[in-house]
Amino acid sequence: MDTEASEDAAFRAEVRAFLAENLSERLRSAPRALLMIDHADQQEWHGILARRGWSVPGWPIEYGGTGWTSAQRHIFDEELSLAKAPMLSPQLNMIGPVLYTYGTDAQREQHLPKLVSGETLWCQGYSEPGAGSDLASLRTQAVRDGEDYIINGQKIWTTFAHCADWMFCLVRTSSEGKPQAGITFLLIDMRTPGIQVRPIISIDGLHHLNEVFFTDVRVPIANRIGDENQGWSYAKFLLKHERDNIGEIGTIMNHLQTLRRAARGKPFTVQRQVLFERNLAEVETDLIGLEALNARRLALAGSQGDDPVYASIIKLRASELQQRIFEMTIDLLGPYVQPSQSDLIARPAGEIVGPDWGPEAVVNYMFGRALTILGGTSEVQRNLVFRALQGSV
């Protein structure tokens, strides 16, 4: 074994020892689907990682990062996923890089320490009715009034807006020229008068999505990221990090473990056994390919910088692969495939009717349909990959 491999193996052992000592069985088994059900569990684990200095490993050292290599970060993410550690807020690694890359000194000082410690939760104000994949058509308007912007409009599908402290938000500040040219990126305190949050109960029966309405909401110009009308550039930068979150390979391994567990001891007919094993082999082969692609990306990132097209490719393949795993798992649930399973997700296993993995399987299957939509649809990702390939020819 060469020196680098030996160092990585030692680092993996260090992470596993930390998890064994600090990740309680209660947190390992906390109810979750694609997202944590209880924010208290999420933030408790965030605090444990923050005290070790591991809550934002990918950030620059001066803002709380670890200075780990790309390989070490991959090992860390993989070990946390396989240990079933609570997932931290997905917005953490979206708004954080925007702040330390484009924010003012005052914005960094105000927000970054509380993001690192887990003191504040953020939500993402991007999508609107009629402006999802075509985000440039957004209409929420911001009009200058002295040292403030006055915001009027609506956002939708806003994950965890009902418990967020802050929102990073795209607003329209100009209607001249191309639609992308008139968008501005703002930081909005969710306690500001004029903000109304209404719940959206999604197909999984849970409340993590919301509508957010803005009525004459005053936001200081000091809360603007970068220049007015240049928000599209910062939004694209942020979306690359969102696609990274969606494509986390360790999480897919976890779902695959659940699938294998669900199939264990299942009384298959010979024909169905053959079909299941063939489908499982295809899924596992695709996951190996995805791991190899990610390894190539990490290797190239060390010498050439991170190519954003990899985030699109991995997001595309990972989202579709997760959906296939969810479909195979739900097929094994048989007569227990009922929407009411989502009501059981936060109950003790003893109160669950059917397999104890059933509620999570149903919720993942239903909300998992969104994976090929959120963060940019699969069609959008294919277009991005195509354009990148055109540019390389």
Catalytic residues: 242
- Separation between Cα atoms, residue 364 and residue 370, nearest integer Å: 10
Return the residue matching tokens 């994950």. 159
User: For residue 225, which phi and psi values (nearest 5 degrees)?
Assistant: -90, 125
Task: Please tell me what DSSP assigns to residue 346.
Answer: T
- Determine contact, residues 212/167, Cβ cutoff 8 Å: yes
Instruction: Give the closest residue to 202 by CA, choosing from 392, 21, 371.
Output: 371
What angle, rounded to 10 degrees, do the helices at 270-304 and 308-333 form?
Answer: 160
Containing H/E element for 243? helix 231-246
Q: Which residue has the tokens 């999505």?
A: 209
- Strand positions, DSSP E, 202-264: 207-220, 224-225
The token duo for 144 is 């200058």
Q: CA-to-CA distance for 360 and 258, rounded, in angstroms? A: 10
CA distances, 360 to each of 224, 303, 326, 328 (Å): 39, 40, 10, 13
Q: How is residue 115 written in tokens?
A: 């993001």
CB-count exposure of residue 375 (10 Å: 0-12, 13-18, 19+): buried
Separation CA 104–CA 117 (nearest Å): 20
